[in-house]
Chain A
Amino acid sequence: MAEVRISNLSKAFGETVAVDDVTMSVPNGAFVTLLGPTGAGKTSILRLIAGLEKPDQGDVVIGGRSVVNETPAQRNVAMVFQQYSLYPHLSVRDNLAFPLKSPLLKTPTVEIERKVAEVAEVLRISHKLNNKATALSGGEMQRVSIGRALVRDPSIYLMDEPLSSLDAKLRSDLRIELKRVQANLGATLLYVTHDQIEAMTMATHVGVLDHGKLVQFGPPREIYESPVNLYVAGRLGQPRINVLPADMFAGAPTGAKTIGLRPENISQGEGKSSKVKRVEHLGDQIRLHLKLDGHDIITLSESRDTFEPGDMVAIQPRNPLFFDASGARIA
């Protein structure tokens, strides 16, 4: 495992700028998540680090060594692709053993057997080892492709939305599994996702990308609690942060254009009176859809009292975030 640093990395595909002057570092043993919508440049950054693409400018440094002119093989990175990129004509066992059979490694057969068995155990696919790669369910295929990365001892694991094609149950199981494996191995892992829950629950650091630019980088809590701008504030949190005109409530600092209120940052009982439009009972929480001066607001009910559509609730902000006209946060 090694520290991976990228500096001033840029890459354009024709007219589209996929990665725009990104500088960041993945500390040794860290679980870093890149978060952003489709087209934000997440996958491109992974491919640049892996060596599947050449950067237009900038540098990739793995373990203190610039690798920008090296092939993927020389860089010694492991990658899990978004599609199940299994070798369809090979068995699960041979798929897992494939990276170990590289002539560069000269791994003894016994050692290969042992590692494959070990990884299969961790990912709970031991009983499928003799199956053909194509005779698996989607979840199993993705576990095999994660396993193919785990059998190796690379500088860094790169994962490109490995869980996005799985069903919800399997996704949450594998999320925990992956975090556990990473912690046990002390692995350096760069993980790309558009799912904020994956980003929040697994990562030690989160990088938020917007149109190829790295907007904010830090621990997940920091990103959630003090986003640098409206875009980052909107990426995290479910239900999404409420964005309202700053003058709606008293106390806005000068220059503030909008006020950002996370659902839990709205206190009920005092303040402005708003109308309940819809009530959602989610079991562990009750969501209230409110209407105030023509703006929609979503918040969580603070009491177990049942509201009915049409009821009036008084609300006021608690620890709000303020943003200026450009969207940058000012308080």
Chain B
Amino acid sequence: MSDTPIDRVAKATPPSVASKIRGLSDRTIAWLFVAPSIFLLLAVNIFPLIWTINLSFTNYKANRPNREVDFIGLRNYERILTDSDIWLTMQATAHFLFWTIFLQVLIGFALAWLINRKFKGNDLWTTLIVLPMMLSPAVVGNFWTFLYQPQIGLFNYAVSFLTGIDPSSFEMIGDVALAPWAIVIVDTWMWTPFVMLICLAGLRSIPDYIYEAAEIDRASKWRQFWTITVPMVLPFLMLAVLFRGIENFKMFDLVVQLTGGGPGSITELTSINLKREAFEKWRTGYASAYAIILFVTVFGLASIYVKALNKVKER
């Protein structure tokens, strides 16, 4: 008699259960195992998506459930794409996305590169640098409003300390010109460690002997950096950009806590704008169309990007 774990399980199965299972094919058993996940996926992902598409062609308002719902075709889409306010929101989002990713990649890679040098206490430094990432975005948003305070805020104090500008002469959150940068700074502060960690994983994956070989092949440090370090970390870096891009496209909590979309609607990113349309103005049909447009945009951009990523990996 064999005594593998599976045999022991078979022996321990009560006869009544065993007789029920015995008649089932492997395929049926496989389906039984997968079914709960598929059901959950359908219930919370696929069905709402289809329902949203359905709603996006109507003038449905969720706060007036008894009102008659009219099918209005593509009118919601038309109105959204010609709405200049929404284009401003898109611009704010693009600004936020571009600068957060740019700064996080730049600083994150630089930090990873520095941490990767073998020096004493680099583990401690890694832990310290990673701390912001572990906080709740709402908490981060909240305490940065204090840091940005013109009178008592540490941020304004630090800026004045470094540049000599009067700390109470500028308001990061209240100023139309500065507020878009205020959210970029906080997001960068919070999420640069994440990019750093991914870059660090990339850097650590490059074996020492490759650098030694390059050293012997008389490549300068500069050339080693551009022909070995950068190309070999690039797939990791692109992955980090993908993660940050998707995350920041749907940025909500941090910015709501920090600026609430203001002053005016200058930091009103698409997801905040969408939330207003859906749950403050209760234009459910309109907001559904809006959500679908965003979904298609992100989906399209992400697919193009993943294709590029795979190409880089194959190289």
List chain A positions with a Cβ less than 8 A from chain B. Answer: 50-52, 71-73, 76-79, 81, 83, 85, 87-89, 98-99, 102-105, 132, 145, 148, 152
List chain B positions with a Cβ less than 8 A from chain A. Answer: 207, 209-210, 212-220, 223, 227-228, 231-232, 315
Q: Which residue of A lies closest to B232 (CB)?
A: A89
Q: Mostly helix, strand, loop or mixed at chain B's interface?
A: helix
**How far does the Cβ of A299 sit from chain B's closest Cβ, in whole Å?**
44
A87 and B227 contact, Cβ closer than 8 Å, known pairs A81-B209, A103-B220:
yes
Contact residues in B for A72 (Cβ distance below 8 Å): 215-216, 218
Q: Which residue of A lies closest to B209 (CB)?
A: A85
Would you call A83 and B209 a contact (CB within 8 A)? yes
Most chain A CB within 10 A, of B216, B227, B228, is at B216
**How far does the Cβ of A4 sit from chain B's closest Cβ, in whole Å?**
15
**How far does the Cβ of A331 sit from chain B's closest Cβ, in whole Å?**
45
Would you call B228 and A87 a contact (CB within 8 A)? yes
Would you call A98 and B217 a contact (CB within 8 A)? yes
Q: Which residue of B lies closest to A78 (CB)?
A: B216
CA distance A252 to B214 in the complex (A): 56
Contact residues in A for B215 (Cβ distance below 8 Å): 51-52, 71-73
Contact residues in B for A102 (Cβ distance below 8 Å): 217-219, 223
Contact residues in A for B220 (Cβ distance below 8 Å): 73, 103
Would you call A89 and B315 a contact (CB within 8 A)? yes
Name 13 extra pairs, CB < 8 A, besides A79-B216, A81-B209, A83-B207. Answer: A52-B216, A72-B216, A78-B216, A81-B213, A85-B207, A85-B213, A87-B210, A87-B213, A88-B232, A89-B232, A89-B315, A104-B218, A152-B217
Would you call B212 and A99 a contact (CB within 8 A)? no
**How far does the Cβ of A91 sit from chain B's closest Cβ, in whole Å?**
9
Contact residues in A for B219 (Cβ distance below 8 Å): 73, 98, 102
**How far does the Cβ of B114 sit from chain A's closest Cβ, in whole Å?**
22
Contact residues in B for A81 (Cβ distance below 8 Å): 209, 212-213
Q: Which of B212, B223, B231, B315 contacts A52 (CB 8 A)?
A: B212
CA distance A71 to B215 in the complex (A): 8
Question: What 5 A-B pairs have minimum CB-CB distances, sorted nearest first?
Answer: A73-B218, A99-B217, A85-B213, A102-B218, A85-B209
16 A-B contact pairs sorted by A residue (CB < 8 Å): A72-B216, A73-B218, A73-B219, A79-B216, A83-B207, A85-B210, A85-B213, A88-B232, A89-B231, A89-B315, A98-B217, A98-B219, A99-B218, A103-B220, A145-B213, A152-B217
CA distance A85 to B219 in the complex (A): 15
Contact residues in A for B212 (Cβ distance below 8 Å): 52, 81, 85
A148 and B223 contact, Cβ closer than 8 Å, known pairs A81-B212, A85-B210, A89-B315:
no
Contact residues in A for B213 (Cβ distance below 8 Å): 79, 81, 85, 87, 145, 148
Would you call A148 and B218 a contact (CB within 8 A)? no
Contact residues in B for A99 (Cβ distance below 8 Å): 217-218
**How far does the Cβ of B147 sit from chain A's closest Cβ, in whole Å?**
42
Would you call A148 and B217 a contact (CB within 8 A)? yes
CA distance A104 to B223 in the complex (A): 12
CA distance A150 to B108 in the complex (A): 39
CA distance A87 to B215 in the complex (A): 12
Contact residues in A for B228 (Cβ distance below 8 Å): 87
Q: Which residue of A lies closest to B230 (CB)?
A: A89
**How far does the Cβ of A153 sit from chain B's closest Cβ, in whole Å?**
12
Contact residues in A for B315 (Cβ distance below 8 Å): 89, 132
